[in-house]
Amino acid sequence: GESVGLHLPTLSVQEGDNSIINCAYSNSASDYFIWYKQESGKGPQFIIDIRSNMDKRQGQRVTVLLNKTVKHLSLQIAATQPGDSAVYFCAETVEGAQKLVFGQGTRLTINP
Amino acid sequence: DVKVTQSSRYLVKRTGEKVFLECVQDMDHENMFWYRQDPGLGLRLIYFSYDVKMKEKGDIPEGYSVSREKKERFSLILESASTNQTSMYLCASELGREGNQPQHFGDGTRLSIL
């Protein structure tokens, strides 16, 4: 399949386990954060977002945690399934900036 | 659901050719973006537009231009294609009216310049 990045950090998990993907963001002024999933041969797909006035936000099988003190963002995927195999990357921006800053991504692989 | 459609999934062109990449969104979004994605370099912003006939340079605009004659369509133009423009090109759109919203991406055009 197509690779979206060389030497991406890789996380391997067993099917059914929970996955935690981490992201360290760069700008302490950033106040809006997004997680994307990119499968091989496809464009990035929006998963979940969070604003800086929140510490946690939950979606369907996914939870995003934001720690502004250490500029850290994480994506938790519950009960990981084969269809979760993809590259995941975070993006950050400042209100009104109109530009996102993307992380390099983490490749999640699921072991049967 | 937001639908961002890029006209070609794969494209092969020759050095020196003028290349047009087309992108259409169907959600009446104000903002549209063009990125390229390369191994090890991630997503890099080429140009964006926040209104019809408006454009702003991104981080790597050299060798590219854009056109936004209609709200739903944002075109990327390689004036004279070069081999270093071989890449995956991704278009995105964003609502843009109030506060930050997520960008929604098309499935990309893989462009090869020979």
Task: Please check whether residue A47 is in contact with residue A41, taking contact to mean a CB–CB distance below 8 angstroms.
Answer: no
CB contact under 8 A, B100 and A32: yes
Task: Please check whether residue B54 is in contact with residue B32, taking contact to mean a CB–CB distance below 8 angstroms.
Answer: no
Residue ranges per structural domain of chain A: 10-111
Rounded to whole angstroms, how far apart are CA atoms B46 and B112?
Answer: 17
**pLDDT per position as a tens digit, B53-92:** 999 999 999 999 999 999 999 999 999 999 999 999 999 9
Pick the CATH number of A10-111 from 2.60.40.10, 3.60.21.10, 2.40.30.10, 3.30.910.20: 2.60.40.10
CB contact under 8 A, A43 and B50: no
Q: With bands split at pLDDT 50, 70 and 90, how would you rate the model's confidence at A7?
A: low
**pLDDT per position as a tens digit, A30-64:** 999 999 999 998 999 999 999 999 999 999 999 99
Chain B CB contacts of A46 below 8 Å: 102-104
CB contact under 8 A, B104 and A51: no
Residue located via tokens 């462009």 = B111
Give B96 to chain A, closest Cα distance, Å: 8
Beta-sheet strands, E only, within B50-98: 56-57, 64-70, 73-78, 87-94
* Spatial CA neighbour of B62 closest among B85, B83, B41, B43: B85
Q: Is A73 on the interface with B (CB under 8 A)?
A: no
Rounded to whole angstroms, how far apart are CA atoms B105 and A46?
Answer: 8
Task: Please check whether residue B29 is in contact with residue B102, taking contact to mean a CB–CB distance below 8 angstroms.
Answer: no
Rounded to whole angstroms, how far apart are CA atoms A62 and A14?
Answer: 17
* Spatial CA neighbour of A73 closest among A59, A87, A52, A94: A52
pLDDT of residue A71: 93
Q: Which domains does chain B have, with CATH numbers?
A: 4-113 (2.60.40.10)
